[in-house]
Amino acid sequence: MKNKTLIHSALLCECQCVINFFKLKQDKSCSAFKLYHNEKIVLVVSGIGKENTINALRFAFDNFIISKAINIGIAGCKDQSIDIGTLFTTNKKIKNLNFTTLTTIDKPLDNKLNLKTTLVDMEAFYFEEYCKQYCENIIVLKVVSDYLDTNIPKKSFIIDLMQNNFNQWKSLI
């Protein structure tokens, strides 16, 4: 089996541009979550939260040889001077990409006073902790989708945000 790049998103709308660009095919044999792949890429759409993320990653690492793992998704931002749609790396500095801090939470955050980081999401910490058991090349990418709103933005809005940033990070795949 060939080494592959794993891409993880919680929501299909966060990674639709990747599926389209790389012409990834859905593997219908997996019913617990959405799975797409080709000869170089495995993409899992886990659903939101810790358990969904870990279950999808377990399947990916059990069934594929993964040399790189990328989490791409949306994040809430406490700093309203940062534009909606801004792309950040949150676990390591990468040339030509913005870097900032991120906290992973288990339920939507509505009080930014307690937040010590710029961004907040619901999967990245679990993604990184699980993946580092199996591979060293791990990248967490987040696109600012809101200013800590408790409602998830509309799918079409998320698709547009992700598509607008795709050229900035697709070379990392």
pLDDT for 25 = 96
Q: How many domains does the chain have?
A: 1
Rounded Cα–Cα distance for residues 116 and 132 (Å)? 24
Place of tokens 């899992």: 44
Q: Is 158 within 8 Å of 74 (Cβ atoms)? A: yes
Question: Which H helix or E strand runs over 55?
Answer: helix 50-63
Contacts of 5 (CB under 8 A, 6+ apart): 40, 41, 42, 66, 67, 68, 69, 70, 173
Residue-wise pLDDT for 34-78, tens only, equals: 999 999 999 999 999 999 999 999 999 999 999 999 999 999 999
pLDDT for 110 = 64
Q: Is 57 within 8 Å of 127 (Cβ atoms)? A: yes
* Residues of the chain under the 70 pLDDT cut: 1, 110-111
The whole domain housing 69 covers 3-169
| CATH number of the domain to which 69 belongs | 3.40.50.1580
